Amino acid sequence: MKSTDDNSEPASSFSLNNWMTDIHSYVKDYRLCQLSLPGAHNAGMDTDITDNDSYDACQDHPIYHQLESGVRALDLRINWYSGTPGGFFDKFITVHGGSGRKLGYILNEVVKFLEEHPGEIVVLDVHALEPGGNAEIPYKQLYEALVSNYHKYLLPFSASGLTLAQIKERHPGPRMVFAVRNLLWITPEPYRDRSLFWDKIGHRWIDQNVVSTDELKKYIGGVINDPPPAEELWTTSAVAFSLFGGPLDIISDLKAWYPANGDWQAKSNIINFDWCTRSNSDMVRQCVESNKIKKPRPVLEITSPVNGGFVDDEWVVVRGTGKAGALVYLYESGREHPSYGNGSVDAATHAWEIRTNIIPRGAFNLTCIQILNDKKSRWAETVAFTHGPRPAPVLRLPVAGTVTQTARPLMRGTAAENGATVRVYVGDEVYGTATAELYGSWEIMPTKDLPLGYKSLIFDQVVNGQVSSRSQSTFITVADKPSKPTLKSTLIGPGWVEIYLDRYDDIANYTYSLNGGPRVTFYSGSYTFNGLVLGETYYAEVFSTNEQGVDSDVATFPLNYIAEIPAPTNFHVISNEGRSVTMGWNAPAPVAGLELAGYSFGPSGVGNHHVVNPVGTFDNLIAYWPTEMQVRARYQRELVSEWVSLVVFPKP
């Protein structure tokens, strides 16, 4: 029978169609398994679809209306009818005596609701999935159809251990939980990736078809006294049934049994009941209100060490929460033996602590189980940590070998933990500290002058009182004036010699002179001396000046000038097509004491290829655009000839 008492919603601190979003600040630190979730018993069996309202229907309105009215868990019992016309999902039909909604309809209604309310989460609890005839259920095809059509909405099973705040951060957008027995991903073999599907949800049901309210109240009271493990989704079937009336409207009884501030709400997870939208959805409202004030049961979890943490002690102290009186055992994730220690959960605080010295050094994946009254829990979420020191921070500037005249040089680095205190040492004495920023970067300005001379800089970091390993030494020189310039390389050509110096960061400029002549100050560590004459002896004098205006000593470098360096001849085009030009030339005439090393070849001003033989190809030129191609000879001792040029017009 259809209800007529679906009244408009009164003023409240939340909207029924958006309540998980509206009360997020209250529940952000809870897992789904810790919430009171209003569930629609036989959600697919509403009076708009069933032929026999009195016995088959358990809800007044279809799925979308249920969700708009605050329901967040849909209890579904589904049969597969291979001969049903329509699409694939239309062959999966909810049942309760008669037939109800099709799975495709249900999924699309859920998606419609989630698209309108992306901050909500809906649990599809496939309580039963059975063949409706002789045909076997096509599990593989169902799996593939769900993944193909709804993967972006499916909240992965890994989120079962996350809080609502973590789910919101890591899995934003519309989200549904699809909980079903494992035949979906293991039948037929080979097994399929189950990451998008949750384990079938455990149910607490009185296990009798005809149920009075007194019998039901007594049964639920027993469940609340010994509820299932807190770290997994579970449901209570809070429904009564009469031979003469079918599913009973017991909303007023449920409201009395489940007050928002009562023990039944505090210990419950999914409460499945009939006629959810009746009495102004008051039972739904009580579930929502309870989430704002309830103190949920602690789940089995490891709270210390934390993921990504480091423990640099012989003894690892593992802390967590669990069920009062339970015995907790530590294990390496993926292995049931050996145990790395055990301890009891405190009855008052639900906390436990285990000290162990047998966890091996290095990276370790830690988990645990709890046992109470010979009942073993599921595995706790794995915590990946390192039993050993945190790595040292990494210095980026100044680089090793730097010579500085600054007694307090700025030091920059990375690879520290956010919020860590980074320390710099000279010997065993701390010369400065800094706090690492979000991505591990840090800057230290020493608080006192570094001693003059060749010094070793060493770094470490401190996080929550734990000290990392120390970095390798970075050696720099603190001097009262810049070091004398050092020659890196030279390049010699007709009438000129170009020198390249080793460059240090704190040098402002260099001053150059030829044979003690006029001085030229230039910012660059490279300089070309022109106008050189065959037969003369040349030397360069160079000194550097730092940012403080202090000059180095003068360095002297001999310039081994050779005036006449033979260049290639007969520079010509071999082929010209497809914007690609191939050119050839004759090798220069040999000269005693000069060993040819190859050629530089390419367009003028673009950059050149090094080629060994007297032929070269250059691609991707601009068609019909005049291009000056050039080539010069390269010899040992960094000697080069003059450029030889030829203008070509590349063809398309």
pLDDT in tens, 158-191: 999 999 999 999 999 889 999 999 999 999 989 9
- Residue 40: CATH number of its domain: 3.20.20.190
In a domain, 77, yes or no: yes
DSSP 588-651: PPP-TT--EEEEEEEETTT--EEESSSEEEE-SPPTT--EEEEEEEEEGGGEE---EEEEE---
* Burial of 547 per CB tally in 10 Å (0-12, 13-18, 19+): middle
User: How many C-beta atoms lie closer than 10 Å to residue 312's C-beta?
Assistant: 15
338 and 244 in a single domain? The answer is: no
Distance CA 419, CA 408 (A): 23
More confident residue, 307 or 608: 307
Q: 110-156 pLDDT, tens per residue? A: 999 999 999 999 999 999 999 998 899 999 999 999 999 999 999 99
Nearest to 126 by CA among 115, 139, 113, 135: 139
Domain presence at residue 4: no
Nearest-angstrom CA–CA distance, 297 and 231:
9
Do 511 and 452 fall into the same domain? no
Domain match, 362 and 238 both? no
CB 286 within 8 A of CB 260: yes
Q: pTM above the 0.75 mark? A: no
Give the domain-ending residue among 444, 460, 478: 478
pLDDT tens-digit series, residues 234-253: 999 999 998 887 899 999 99
- Specify the length of the chain in residues: 652
Span of 281-285, 383-387, 478-482 with lowest mean pLDDT: 478-482
Q: Establish if 39 belongs to a structural domain.
A: yes
Examine the domain organization and report whether 577 and 464 are in the same domain. Answer: no
List, in order, residues 6 or more apart from 19 with CB less than 8 Å away: 70, 120, 288
Of the two residues 246 and 425, the one the predictor is more confident about is: 425
DSSP assignment letter at 390: P
Assess if residue 3 is contained within a domain: no
CATH classification at residue 635: 2.60.40.10
Residues 216 and 310 in one domain: no
Q: Is residue 1 part of a domain?
A: no
Cα dist from 638 to 69, 501, 645, whole Å: 83, 15, 21
* 11: confidence class by pLDDT, cuts 50, 70, 90: very low
Q: What's the CA gap between 650 and 652, in Å, rounded?
A: 7
Lowest mean pLDDT segment, chosen from 209-223, 423-437, 447-461, 637-651 = 637-651
Q: What percent of the chain has pLDDT over 90?
A: 71
- Across the range 401-413, mean pLDDT stands at 90
Closest C-alpha to 122, from 165, 76, 158: 76
What are the DSSP calls for 148-191, one per residue?
HHHTTTBPPGGGGGS-HHHHHHHS-S-EEEEE--THHHHSSSSP
Q: Quick one: average pLDDT of 591-609?
A: 82
Domain boundary among 339, 363, 387: 387
340 and 430 in a single domain? The answer is no
HSE toward the beta carbon, residue 596, CA cutoff 13 A: 19
Average pLDDT over residues 494-500: 88
Instruction: Dump pLDDT digits (tens) for 215-234.
Output: 999 999 999 998 998 889 99
My answer on whether 373 and 360 are in the same domain is yes
How far from 288 is each of 20, 32, 251, CA to CA, in Å? 8, 13, 15
Q: Is residue 2 part of a domain?
A: no
Average pLDDT, the chain: 91
Residue 278 is given by DSSP the state H
> Computed from CA positions of residues 389, 390, 391, 394, in that sequence, does the dihedral angle turn out positive or negative?
negative
Residue 563 has a CB neighbour count (10 Å cut-off) of 13
Give pLDDT, residue 378.
86
pLDDT in tens, 553-572: 999 999 877 666 789 999 99
Residue of 42, 72, 73, 65 whose CA lies nearest to 241: 42
Residue 195: C-alpha distances to residues 21, 180, 230, 585 (Å): 25, 12, 21, 66
pLDDT bin (cut points 50, 70, 90) of residue 12 is low
> Is the pLDDT score of 443 beyond 80?
yes
Phi, psi of 21 (to 5 degrees): -75, -45
**How far apart are the C-alpha atoms of 459 and 442, rounded to whole Å?**
12
Check residue 620 and give its pLDDT: 83
**Confidence (pLDDT) at 9:** 39
Same domain for 520 and 640, yes or no, is: no
Structural domain range at position 346: 301-387
Asked if residue 6 is part of any domain, the answer here is no
Do 524 and 591 lie in a common domain?
A: no
Q: For residues 578 and 643, is the Cβ–Cβ distance under 8 A? A: no
Residues 325 and 339 in one domain: yes
What's the angle, vertex CA 429, arms to CA 423 and CA 432, rounded to 5?
Answer: 35
Residue 271 lies in a domain: yes
Residues 442 and 343 grouped into a single domain = no
- How many domains does the chain fold into? 5
C-alpha–C-alpha distance, residues 429 and 161, integer Å? 45
Residue 4 banded pLDDT, cuts 50, 70, 90: very low
What percentage of residues in the chain have a pLDDT greater than 70? Answer: 96
Q: Looking at 297, 320, 354, which one is the last position of a domain? A: 297
> How sure is the predictor about 8, in pLDDT bands with cuts at 50, 70 and 90?
very low
Helix crossing, 103-116 with 139-150: angle to 10°? 20
Q: Are residues 249 and 123 in the same domain?
A: yes
* Of 57 and 502, more confident: 57
What pLDDT shows up at residue 5?
41
